[in-house]
Amino acid sequence: MIKREKGKMIQPRKAIQKMKPYNPPTASRKGKLRVDFNENTVGPSPQVLALLKKLNEEDLVVYPEYGMLREKLAEYLGVAKNQVIATNGTDEAILTVMSSFIEKDDVVVLPVPTFAMFKFYASIFEAKIMDILYKNDLSFPTKAVLNAINKKTKLVVLVNPNNPTASSISDEDIKKILLKARENSALVLIDEAYYQFMGRSSIELISDYDNLIILQTFSKAFGLAGLRLGYVISNEEVVKTLSKVLSPYSVNSIAVTCGIMALDDVAYVDEYVKEVLKSKEILYREFEKLDIKTYKSDANFFVAYFGDKATAIYQKLKDRNILVRDRTTYPLLKDCLRIGVGTRKQTRFFLYEVKEVLAEVGWKQ
């Protein structure tokens, strides 16, 4: 038996030692009103649910195959089959882009606050992260990002619309950034997890800018977060590189089968998006009446300012089984909560409960 002496254990890489654990609050979310993770709040297409009942042992016992999913995705996106590849959620897509292109000390330009996994994976590959702060009104800092791009830049990360700010980047600004990045031999990674709610995508720029990589997901509008299905769209050379680094079986069979079925019922997603946009209008109107400051949103969530009542409101909503996201520790988001938008029915219920909670905390009385 080997005696364990403190500090003599084999140590992880220094880069890993420095990393902080990222533990999102995922426990016990079922059966509640989940407007904390920006998922679809009701579920995927009924066709997908019906398919689940038809799965058989071969869907479980056999290693997954991806040919048909890639074809369906290519058709849906209007790209070639070799310009798209499925990943185990967006997380694996980010990991794979970083592991393919990022060397130690490469500079990654990252507008913040944003989705945590970019910094997470950039740290694993020991990139130098250059944070660029969003503007005070949470709009995209175009000038600052353009100024930050230089010969040392390897990757520029854009999240459009951004999480958690819900703000978007104009097509014109994206082109400017792509050009400046290209001149400096830098890649631009655009995460479009919520693009359906914004109503536009940068996919068509793939053919014009060979430094562009786009990420999309089935976790949000499609309502399949539990299955872990994301995908990367880029030119065929980049996709070929990513394929080399990806595990040959990272996406599971059920995600493949359900993903294909979900793409057969895109109308369901379109309807859900319309419903969310109507809900969002109601929420903005009611929040204005309640004198709660909100920020512009192009996504299925938004940031609202609750001053020194934010944490109390977060907790009291949670006690009522309504989950919003506490983002008060993020840059620019002091005293703010991020609130997801569901159906109008859910919104009416949400507003009723919010009003009760506001009364309890003595909101602007």
CB 322 to a second copy: min, Å: 15
Taking the complex as a whole, how short is the minimal distance between the CB of residue 244 and a second copy, in angstroms? 5
CA angle 335, 117, 241 (to 5 degrees): 155
> Which residue in 147, 170, 185, 315 binds a second copy (CB under 8 A)?
185
Chain position carrying tokens 């060979």: 210
Question: Distance between CA atoms of 118 and 193, rounded to whole angstroms?
Answer: 13
328 neighbors 320 (Cβ within 8 angstroms) = no
Taking CB under 8 A as the binding criterion, the range among 135-143, 179-187, 270-278, 314-322 that sits at the site for a second copy is: 179-187
Angle, CA 221 vertex, CA 110 and CA 171 arms, to 5°? 45
Q: Which of 77, 95, 127, 138 binds a second copy (CB under 8 A)?
A: 95
Contact 129, 110 (CB under 8 A): yes
Helices (H), 125-265: 142-148, 171-183, 195-198, 236-245, 253-263
Report the residue count for the chain: 365
Is 177:158 a contact under the CB 8 Å cutoff? yes
Segment 309 to 338, residues that bind a second copy, using CB under 8 A? none
Other Cβ atoms less than 10 A from the Cβ of 325: the count is 22
The reply on whether position 187 binds a second copy by CB under 8 A is yes
Spatial CA neighbour of 234 closest among 243, 225, 246, 226: 243
- The stretch near a second copy (CB under 8 A) out of 24-32, 299-307, 309-317, 336-344 is 24-32
Binding mask 192-231 for a second copy (x = CB under 8 A): ----------------xxxx-------x---xxxxxx---
Q: What value, to the nearest 5°, has the Cα angle with vertex 81 and ends 75 and 86?
A: 90
30-89 binders of a second copy (CB under 8 A) = 30-31, 34, 37, 39-44, 48-49, 52-53, 55-65, 67, 88-89
What span, in angstroms and rounded, lies between the C-alpha atoms of 38 and 6? 42
The verdict on 114 binding a second copy (CB under 8 A) reads no
CB of residue 276 to a second copy, shortest distance in Å:
14
Bridging pattern class, strands 293-294 and 230-233: unpaired
Binding region for a second copy (CB under 8 A) out of 180-188, 306-314, 325-333, 349-357: 180-188
| 291 makes contact with a second copy (CB under 8 A) | no
How many chain residues bind a second copy (CB under 8 A)?
A: 89
Site for a second copy in 237-256 (CB under 8 A): 237-238, 240-241, 243-245, 247-255
Q: How far is the CB of 20 from a second copy (least distance, A)?
A: 8
Nearest CB to a second copy, comparing residues 9 and 267:
9
Which pair of tokens denotes residue 20?
């902080």
Least separation in angstroms between CB 67 and a second copy: 6
24 makes contact with a second copy (CB under 8 A): yes
Nearest distance from C-beta of residue 2 to a second copy, angstroms: 6
Extract the tokens encoding 352.
């009723």
Is the dihedral angle over the CA atoms 273, 279, 285, 288 positive or is it negative? negative
Nearer to a second copy by Cβ, of 264 and 286: the residue is: 264
